[in-house]
Structure 1
Amino acid sequence: MIDLYYWPTPNGHKVTLFLEEAGLPYTIKPVNIGAGDQFKPDFLAIAPNNRMPAIVDHAPEGGGEPVSLFESGAILLYLAEKTGRFIAPDLRGRAEVLQWLFWQMGGLGPMLGQNHHFSQYAPETIPYAITRYVNETNRLYGVLDRRLADRAYVAGAAYSIADMAAYPWIVPYEKQGQTLDDFPHLKRWFTAIAERPATRAAYARAPEVNPDHGKTMSEDAKKVMFGQTAKGRG
């Protein structure tokens, strides 16, 4: 059994996508990031960066003590290696998956996250910041579109953790100031993943965990999420 510390965000969805695809048994432990659950000592013992998702695998390969992990990319890689699924077994195929997984972790996620922040959550409108991150989002969509021009999925013919990492960040494309019609290969890929039964099952967990999912974030929640410093919450 896997305990999944989760809240319905793009990074949270990555892990439910894998777990539903692989059919692994898991229990969701909600981490209400708007209420500050990510700062609780019990959660910090698992995820010292006070960010979800995180997992605790109570049945790790080879037995022994439970294994805990934070960082969504590390979790996807761990689960892929645990199950032998959604990552190519050969050297070159594995390299393809890993470079695009790290591309998402180092570029697509952080840049689109800044897009979300300045376009939707910032207390003041900063036109330069909005334009900067909307444009960078557009550039990254273009990278992905070109990549998908001659292959079904990001790393090749097979669905992999590279796709699971990227897809949730494309879901809110309208809020990111993008239209998928500008990126036909990306749109074809996006539609194919959206139609997978496991994708539907993963996203169905969101309102179960957070009935207010999709609603406007409260000002109190913004203060909790965006007021953190090294000394604690601002």
Structure 2
Amino acid sequence: MLRLHYNLEKVSMGLVVAIIVAASIGGIVEIAPLFTIDETVEIPEDMRPHTPLELAGREIYIREGCYACHSQMVRSLADELDRYGPYSLAAESAYDHPMLWGSKRTGPDLARLGEKYSDDWHTAHLIDPRSVVPASIMPAYPWLMRPLDTEILSDQLAVLATLGVPYGPEMIEAAVADALGQSQPDTDGGDAVRERYGEGVPVRAFDGDPSRLTEMDAVVAYLQALGTLTNAPYATTVELTQ
């Protein structure tokens, strides 16, 4: 076998063809299952899409490059389950475009971050990470206190709807109002968000000030939603332990 490989290296075109064949086989093995993903990935009945405010926060999370240091995929390894919680299911990312699984962990995995810390903690952490985690090497993001631009939210929901995310016409039309409403508890806007996205959706001033809508509101709302869009991972864990 080694002699065959040695002889093949002497014929440049033969080596190129062999590389293409080997790469093609590997590509097919990885790509082929995606054509049956609709049949193999079952979306849980209680799965909800991100609210407009959470979606805006997700876009800022991508813009700031947070995915470069934080993964969003708990693997089925004992130490990860002990640290982060139930392993990630493919269905949890069914509405994500793009998915943010990642593999780089300069910082901890965030797949189960939702409601683990308070909104005040997240706000302080993003403004000055070392104020709450002295050994942190995360950069500060004080500019997130600036006003949130909601101009293209409706268009974003409309595009995602064409990709299969269950945003109805009413959700798309009310995207800007819902983004504001989710940050204003005890208002008609907040009630409207719950009606469209479910009673379990958190409605509160994520940055601590309900009189304004900031990028901080959006990012904290997104972080608090991670791992909370469905109870399926927790149900799966219970089934496996019984």
TM-score calculated relative to the size of structure 1: 0.27
Q: Say which structure, 1 or 2, has more relative contact order (CA 8 Å, 6+ apart).
A: 2
Of Structure 1 and Structure 2, which has the larger fraction of its residues in strand? 1
TM-score by length of 2: 0.26
Structure (1 or 2) with the larger CA radius of gyration: 2
